[in-house]
Structure 1
């Protein structure tokens, strides 16, 4: 199962999409998210290691997989 760091990465992508309309990496938004987490006293792990394969996503997130499948935001 994905760890909190991986969920942070997904959350950052979603936040970036909401703010910019795109999921391309944005250093300013990344720092904004980390600052907000730090202010709330939450961990801000940035060294993310994925210990799961993309093929595992369907079993990890069945509802999301049924909704988005192979074309998550396309």
Structure 2
């Protein structure tokens, strides 16, 4: 399972940010396409990364820190 993360900080291939969307039953390529589409839908004012994640029902508004970015 992948998670789309709105990046607040990026350093050395690690990202920190907040949850945007879960990508269940998706390949990494499909998740990356969703990330780019999310950026485009927000007029490219946000940067979105694909990270690996386990489902967390309390993800909204939670700050995730130092996760490996997979879509580069």
More strand, by proportion: 2
Larger Rg: 1
Does TM, scored on the shorter chain, surpass 0.5?
A: no
Q: Which has the higher contact order (CA 8 A, sep 6+)?
A: 2
Q: TM-score, normalised by structure 2?
A: 0.31
More helix, by proportion: 1
Q: TM-score, normalised by structure 1?
A: 0.31
